[in-house]
């Protein structure tokens, strides 16, 4: 069975940093473009970032560009999100998701990030 | 592209049919997906390419539409179908952040 398991979400102060991880299993991780999608409290889903399957391309939402960095380790079937200069509006549930033809085929259950003093 | 879902909340009795709408501010052809979200669970892809059911999705779920108007229809509602549903367009790629998804429709038990 396909599994995506996020971890690393905690309470952090504004201006702080955090690294989220996503452990993948049950599929050929290295063949898939992977994404981070978040849901802020009371809001809809919001795409955050992607890392292409070929390891060449990354993209970011304007709201996180310059503060967040996505990376992956295909040998360890893992996706990461380094989050710096965190703001209260970054609070939310962060999901990793695998992409199939620009749709989000598989998702994890999410990890909760709270930015608060 | 802005995705607008309606209604925000839909109350339907078990066994009945629910129809959820999603409108795009400009044509996305058939580059549209529907997802189901339940608290504490991983989101689930239901429909992609506007009308193709994802693997394992029951036949009571169907998607329709193209261009700017789309619908997700759930026939014979089961208790497990009461959840929040989001549409997603991928006509613009890479995604932009907010606006990739609609605002969601909460399907609740009447």
**What confidence tens digit (pLDDT) does each residue in A74-84 have?**
999 999 999 99
Query: Residue B96: what pLDDT?
Result: 85
Q: How far apart are CA A116 and CA A90, in angstroms?
A: 10
CB contacts under 8 A, A 19-48 vs B, are 44-48
pLDDT, tens digit, 9 for 90 and up, residues B32-87: 999 999 999 999 999 999 999 999 999 999 999 999 999 999 999 999 999 999 99
Is there a contact between B87 and B70 (Cβ–Cβ < 8 Å)? yes
Asked whether the beta carbons of residue B97 and residue A50 sit closer than 8 angstroms, the reply is no
Q: What is the pLDDT of residue A9?
A: 96
Q: What percent of chain A has pLDDT over 90?
A: 96
Taking the Cβ of residue A117 and every Cβ of chain B, the question of whether any pair is shorter than 8 Å is answered with no
Cα–Cα dist A14/A113, whole Å: 12
Residues of A in contact with B37 (CB under 8 A): 45
A47 pLDDT above the threshold of 90 = yes
């Amino acid at each position: 069975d396909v599994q995506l398991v996020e971890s690393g979400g905690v309470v952090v102060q504004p201006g702080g940093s955090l690294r989220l991880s996503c452990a993948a299993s049950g599929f050929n991780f290295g063949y898939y473009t992977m994404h981070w999608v978040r849901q802020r409290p009371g809001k809809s889903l919001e795409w955050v970032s992607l890392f292409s399957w070929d390891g060449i391309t990354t993209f970011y939402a304007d709201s996180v560009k310059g503060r967040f960095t996505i990376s992956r380790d295909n040998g360890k079937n893992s996706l990461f999100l380094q989050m710096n200069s965190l703001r209260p509006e970054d609070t939310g549930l962060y999901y990793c998701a695998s992409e199939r033809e620009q749709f989000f085929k598989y998702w994890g259950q999410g990890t909760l990030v709270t930015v608060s003093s | 592209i802005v995705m607008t879902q309606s209604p925000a909340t839909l109350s339907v009795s078990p066994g009945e049919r629910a129809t959820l709408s999603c409108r795009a501010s400009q044509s996305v052809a058939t580059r549209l997906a529907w997802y189901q979200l339940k608290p504490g669970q991983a989101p689930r892809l239901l429909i992609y390419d506007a009308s193709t059911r994802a693997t394992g999705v029951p036949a009571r779920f169907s998607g329709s539409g193209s261009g700017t108007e789309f619908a997700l229809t759930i026939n014979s509602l089961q208790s497990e179908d009461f959840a929040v549903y989001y549409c997603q367009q991928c006509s613009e790629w890479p995604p932009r952040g907010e606006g990739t998804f609609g605002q969601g429709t909460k399907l609740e038990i009447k």
